[in-house]
Amino acid sequence: MAGLIVAPAKGLNLVGACKEFLTEMAALIEVTRYARGSAWKFGFLARRGVSYFLHSDHRSPRGYNGQTIDMKTGVCRRPDLTAIAFAAEHFQKNSSMGVYVGAADPIDEIAKRFYAAFPTEAVPEFCQISFDRPTDDQPDNSMREYTNLIFVGFSERPQQGKWGELANMGLDHALPAFSSHWCSRRIYLSG
């Protein structure tokens, strides 16, 4: 299995993982509007049973501003990047949790905060990032099996030409493209 092993004690290479991921996604998805992609993403997470979604992309054109979004009620909490601490506080109390990291954010700083909030012994699966791509006849639908996951997504601004509109493709059709990039059993890389 092709992948990148990340050793938390030696520092995280999320920036490198992000660049490699975006290169892969650029070949998979036709670029359209960012907003519809975000709407699709929220729907995808909700359907996968993710209860909370930490959107740390403070420069999002949709203006989420680092809010933690309760997927069941749509209520936003803690509108700043320190919401990672909020996520850590509630990690054991909720059946599932989503954490989103935008590519325009200070990835290294977010990684530090994430590991300060989530000790490595609490989420050992975070240590492996896989970039396997499923085939048409053998799609990777393993996301369906998990509801207690940490979601780490990467996106770029629409003017940079790296975002695709998956909403019109339909959830089942788009799932293989998205589920081709995810880390171990709890970390899922999305565009």
| Distance, CA of 98 to CA of 68 (rounded, Å) | 9
The pLDDT averaged over each successive group of 10 residues in the chain (191 residues) is 30 39 34 34 43 39 40 43 40 38 41 47 29 36 32 30 27 29 30 30
Sign, Cα dihedral of 66, 69, 74, 77: negative
Token pair for residue 187? 């970390």
Residue with tokens 């990777």: 140
Domain residue ranges in the chain: 3-134+143-188
**3 phi and psi angles, rounded to 5 deg:** -175, 180
What is the distance between the alpha carbons of residues 92 and 101, in angstroms, rounded to a whole number? 20
Q: What is the longest distance spanned by two Cα atoms in the chain?
A: 43
Looking at residue 30, its amino acid is E
Closest residue by Cα to residue 84 from 7, 151, 181, 11? 151
DSSP characters over 124-165: GGGGEEE----BTTB---GGGG-SS-EE------GGGT--B-
User: Are 56 and 83 contacting, i.e. CB atoms less than 8 angstroms apart?
Assistant: yes
C-alpha 64/C-alpha 34 separation (Å) is 13
Q: What confidence score (pLDDT) does residue 43 get?
A: 43
Distance (Å, whole) CA 159 – CA 101:
19
Give the Cα separation of 6 and 16 in Å (integer): 11
Q: Give residue 124's pLDDT.
A: 27
| Length of the chain in terms of residues written | 191
